[in-house]
């Protein structure tokens, strides 16, 4: 018997429970305290015209999944998570127009020889912009094939003059309640901070994402720059980053703080390790009907499995 899966999962299936639960209490507090009309104040709107700007020159980069069809632009830009702009999958597309992406700088802190700040205009000139077509897998079960534009993340790290003590690197997203209305509500511990082991961040697959589909990064996808690590669940890729901090010890992250038994520090895509409440064995590409099997390390095992040699990936999930 052929069992068809629903093409679109229920919100309760695809939204982390802490966010789903927080949304209900948040909505309750709105109706009791502030009133539904206040959605206007929170910046809820039906989107604003987006300015799409193409890069002049983008060269094909390595590791691209060129045999796979990129997911349609609208699926990737209209469905996603960027909780600073709201808890629903279409909240980022509706609300991220409030983000101001110029001027934009990244500050560098922690285990480095001297504090530094980099401006986005300079970062854009560091290395040739590459197109890398990566398979991406969200922990909630959906996936996409995205033609990213970016430069290797090491281009940033090698300019930071890290000390020998640095073993991990944190990526801090902007958390400005003026531009990001939902940062006023503590359903996550803002700012959104994700982290990688330093050798993971320096792996040639790890990208500093500056755009997609040949264009500058759409605001809802993390403009003007974000982290892209395709062998890990999507939440490891912090959007709209403003700070990089090098540390000696494995740091807590936004998701290990929210639900440590559900979201591990490593979060490598692993079909054999189920999430506490659902299987990770299959995924559904945005825009497709049938599910497909999820691959270990999201299909990038040949490149990255060596980073985890000798580690128990069930314990270090």
Binding residues for ligand MTE, rule: CB under 6 A, are 80-84, 138, 173, 192, 221, 234-235, 237-240
Residue 207 Cβ, how far from ligand MTE at the closest point, in Å? 12
Measuring CA to CA, which residue among 203, 218, 211 is closest to residue 153?
203
Smaller CB separation from ligand MTE, 162 or 258: 258
Smaller CB separation from ligand MTE, 138 or 304: 138
**82 close to 91: Cβ distance less than 8 angstroms:** yes
- What is the biggest distance separating any 2 CA atoms in the chain, rounded to whole angstroms? 64
Smaller CB separation from ligand MTE, 164 or 186: 186
Residue 140 Cβ, how far from ligand MTE at the closest point, in Å? 7
Q: How many CA atoms lie within 13 A of 80 on its CB side?
A: 28
Question: Cα(62)–Cα(132) distance, rounded to whole angstroms?
Answer: 7
Smaller CB separation from ligand MTE, 160 or 212: 212
Residue 80 Cβ, how far from ligand MTE at the closest point, in Å? 3
Residue 199 Cβ, how far from ligand MTE at the closest point, in Å? 21
How far is C-alpha 56 from the chain's CA centre?
25
Smaller CB separation from ligand MTE, 84 or 200: 84
Evaluated on CA atoms 20, 21, 24, 30, the torsion sign reads negative
Residue 144 Cβ, how far from ligand MTE at the closest point, in Å? 6
Residue 138 Cβ, how far from ligand MTE at the closest point, in Å? 4
Instruction: Give the burial string for 69-105 (b: 16+ CB within 10 Å, else e).
Output: ebbeeebbbbbbbbbbbbbbbebbbbbbbbbebeebe
- What SS3 state is found at 206? coil
Name the residue with the smallest CB distance to ligand MTE: 80
Smaller CB separation from ligand MTE, 84 or 111: 84
Smaller CB separation from ligand MTE, 160 or 193: 193
Question: End-to-end CA distance of the chain, in Å?
Answer: 34
Smaller CB separation from ligand MTE, 61 or 234: 234
Residue 188 Cβ, how far from ligand MTE at the closest point, in Å? 7
Task: Tell me the CA distances in angstroms from 185 to 30, 32, 139, 252, one per residue in order.
Answer: 11, 15, 23, 20
Question: Cα(135)–Cα(67) distance, rounded to whole angstroms?
Answer: 11
69 backbone φψ class: left, alpha, beta (φ>0; ψ -120 to 50)? beta
Residue 62 Cβ, how far from ligand MTE at the closest point, in Å? 21
């Amino acid at each position: 018997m052929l069992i068809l899966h629903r093409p679109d999962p229920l919100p309760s299936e695809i939204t982390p429970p802490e966010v789903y639960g927080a949304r209900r209490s948040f909505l309750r507090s709105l109706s009791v305290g502030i009133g539904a009309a206040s959605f206007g104040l929170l910046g809820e709107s039906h989107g604003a015209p987006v300015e799409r700007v193409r890069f002049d020159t983008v060269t094909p980069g390595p590791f691209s999944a060129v045999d796979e069809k990129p997911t349609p632009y609208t699926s990737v830009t209209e469905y996603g998570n960027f909780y600073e702009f709201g808890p629903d999958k279409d909240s980022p597309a509706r609300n991220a127009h409030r983000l101001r992406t110029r001027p934009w700088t990244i500050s560098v802190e922690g285990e480095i020889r001297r504090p530094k700040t980099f401006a986005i205009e300079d970062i854009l000139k560091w290395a040739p912009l590459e197109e890398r077509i990566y398979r991406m897998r969200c922990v909630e079960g959906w996936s996409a094939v995205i033609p990213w534009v970016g430069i290797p993340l090491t281009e940033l790290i090698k300019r930071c003059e890290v000390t020998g003590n640095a073993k991990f690197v944190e990526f801090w997203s902007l958390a400005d309640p003026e531009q990001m209305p939902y940062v006023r509500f503590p359903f996550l511990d803002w700012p959104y901070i994700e982290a990688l082991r330093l050798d993971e961040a320096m792996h040639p697959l790890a990208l500093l994402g500056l755009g997609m589909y040949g264009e500058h990064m759409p605001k809802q996808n993390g403009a003007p720059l974000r982290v892209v690590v395709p062998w890990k669940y999507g939440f490891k890729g912090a959007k709209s980053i403003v700070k990089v901090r090098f540390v000696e010890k494995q740091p807590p992250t936004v998701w290990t703080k929210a639900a440590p038994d559900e979201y591990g520090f490593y979060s490598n895509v692993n079909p054999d390790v189920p999430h506490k409440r659902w299987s990770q064995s299959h995924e559904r590409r945005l825009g497709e009907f049938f599910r497909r099997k999820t691959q270990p390390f999201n299909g990038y095992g040949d490149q990255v499995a060596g980073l985890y040699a000798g580690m128990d990936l069930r314990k270090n999930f």
